[in-house]
Amino acid sequence: MFNNRIKVKALLAGEPAGQQATVMGWVRTFRNNQFVALNDGSTNNNLQVVLELGKFDDTLLKRITTSAALKVTGTVVASQGKGQKLELKADTIEILGDSDAEKYPLQPKKHSLEFLREKAHLRFRTNTFGSVFRIRHSLAFAIHKFFNEKGFVYLHTPIITASDAEGAGEMFRVSTLPFDNPPRREDGTIDFSEDFFGRATNLTVSGQLEGELGATAFGEIYTFGPTFRAENSNTARHLAEFWMIEPEMAFCDLEDNANLAEEFIQYIIRYAMEHNADDLEFLRQRLLEEEKAKPQTERSELDLIQKLEFVVNNQFERITYTEAIDILLQSNHYKKKKFQYDVSWGIDMQSEHERYLVEKHFKKPVIVTNYPKDIKAFYMRQNEDGKTVAAMDILAPGIGEIVGGSQREERLERLEQRMTEMNIPHEELWWYLDTRRFGTVPHAGFGLGFERIVQFVTGMSNIRDVIAFPRTPKSAEF
């Protein structure tokens, strides 16, 4: 029986009234042969367990090492020391699991994030990762809560997909054919008709196309699942395996889409602020410490919590692509030739351009709409000007593109014409085109990279530190 335990979070929230309590957790530090800082993952705050001198065996005390698992029963009393309101005066201590101090790699001190990345199986036991992953959980939960309250259906789109039409990037092949000697056709190409699914299949790069099938029946759906890109991207904001949220709404245009995206982002951030105040406070302090090493000019004006409050309490800026280009062209930054890449209408904005708009010009999240059709996907709705499509990107300070979405082309002829222009095989997407044949309606949706919003909320600068076990090129340990 273990369920008589009280979690540290609950215990710390109560009053020290001399009541009995049993806690279980892992030792963070053992000071003075007398004070155990015990953490059970329910909160960043440790419980101070006090061991009366002489009350416990030396052999037991020797086994209270960093990260040993303990069961402690004792009396909850007001703390005599500073730093905590209450503490647990131990009556009995049971070592549930020993931890060899000479071999345990984490010390009660500050470790670099790079080092902890190589100890990803243990990094949850640190304050930073404890906070990050509790916040990650809250955001995931808030996402389901938000859509559920709005009547969206949670649709599970396939992980294995046969369509390569989305063009969202390089894909991971899924196959049971032998690598060393795959069956070949007469022309030497691999014969996938003999593969498991009878055709070439890959891991999904997006659930959007299937999402549209759901939206044109349920009205409003969302997906929230793993997504895979085999791009050789080595950056602080890319993963080969990441989680994406893709809502898709029928009877919805670009403006409705932008409104929903903004409301959604504010909702989930607000949820984390309400439910993870301690974790955010810890991360706020952590970032302040980190910024002390930087020159004053590079430090951020707002701390983490101020930044989140600002985002939650202010409307996102909304501009068209054309306006964005004008702002860039008229900026002093451009006139002084400080952009590495040139600016003109029709370019796919580089991250330096996006960063200028978001971090220098507006200093808040920006929704950019109506991009040139030539730099966007085939399924986006063509605007009447013949040049742009009803696309929408949300750019966030410090992260870049956090949301990419659009109103979809619901007119069959326009969609087919665009697919032809972009060399997208019609026959492969017959099922997608059927939505436009049978009761087509204006609809829209977007994709939000989950890890990027977790980065934004936690202030972690590397995406590998907001997913438990990151998959990146040349790296799939754990």
Partner RNA sequence: UCCUCCUUAGCUCAGUUGGUUAGAGCAUCUGACUGUUAAUCAGAGGGUCGUUGGUUCAAGUCCAACAGGGGGAGCCA
Kindly state the smallest distance separating residue 385's Cβ from RNA, in Å: 22
**Beta strands 366-372 and 86-97, pairing class:** unpaired
**Cβ proximity to RNA, 115 vs 196, nearer residue:** 115
Beta carbons of 412 and 448 less than 8 angstroms apart: no
Q: Which of residues 247-276 bind RNA (CB under 7 A)?
A: none
| Cα gap 113→123, rounded to integer Å | 9
* Element of type H or E holding 457: helix 450-458
| Cα gap 428→375, rounded to integer Å | 22
Is 98 one of the binding residues for RNA (CB under 7 A)?
no
Kindly state the smallest distance separating residue 467's Cβ from RNA, in Å: 9
DSSP H helices in 293-429:
304-313, 321-330, 332-335, 351-355, 412-421
Both tokens assigned to 71: 């069961």
Straight-line distance from the first to the last Cα atom of the chain, in angstroms, rounded to the nearest whole number: 31
Quickly tell me which residue has 């990441």 as its tokens.
Answer: 242
Candidate list 239, 258, 269, 287; residue touching RNA; CB under 7 A: 239
Q: Which of residues 411-450 bind RNA (CB under 7 A)?
A: 447-449
Candidate list 3, 4, 59, 81; residue touching RNA; CB under 7 A: 81
> Measured between alpha carbons, how far is residue 203 from residues 226, 410, 465 in Å?
9, 26, 23
> How many residues belong to the site for RNA (CB under 7 A)?
72
Contact map string, positions 188 to 207, toward RNA, x by CB under 7 A = ------------------x-
Burial of 179 (0-12, 13-18, 19+ CB in 10 A): exposed
Both tokens assigned to 470: 């990151």
Q: Which of residues 399-418 bind RNA (CB under 7 A)?
A: 400-404
> 161: how many CB neighbours lie within 10 A of its CB?
21
Beta carbons of 270 and 262 less than 8 angstroms apart: no
Candidate list 55, 115, 263, 288; residue touching RNA; CB under 7 A: 115
Contact map string, positions 145 to 174, toward RNA, x by CB under 7 A = -----------------------xx-----
**Cβ proximity to RNA, 275 vs 318, nearer residue:** 318
| Cα gap 167→164, rounded to integer Å | 7
Beta carbons of 463 and 475 less than 8 angstroms apart: no
The distance from CA 100 to its chain's CA centroid, rounded to whole angstroms, is: 34
Q: Which of residues 363-392 bind RNA (CB under 7 A)?
A: none
Candidate list 123, 125, 229, 381; residue touching RNA; CB under 7 A: 229
**Cβ proximity to RNA, 410 vs 451, nearer residue:** 451
**Cβ proximity to RNA, 94 vs 348, nearer residue:** 348
Is 454 one of the binding residues for RNA (CB under 7 A)?
no
Residues 6+ apart with CB under 8 A from 461: 236, 398, 455
Q: Which of residues 280-339 bind RNA (CB under 7 A)?
A: none
**Cβ proximity to RNA, 84 vs 259, nearer residue:** 84
**Cβ proximity to RNA, 108 vs 198, nearer residue:** 108
Stretch that binds RNA, among 17-25, 26-34, 135-143, 279-287 (CB under 7 A): 26-34
Contact map string, positions 342 to 361, toward RNA, x by CB under 7 A = ------x-xxx--x------
Stretch that binds RNA, among 109-117, 157-165, 263-271, 423-431 (CB under 7 A): 109-117
Candidate list 3, 53, 176, 297; residue touching RNA; CB under 7 A: 53
Kindly state the smallest distance separating residue 185's Cβ from RNA, in Å: 29
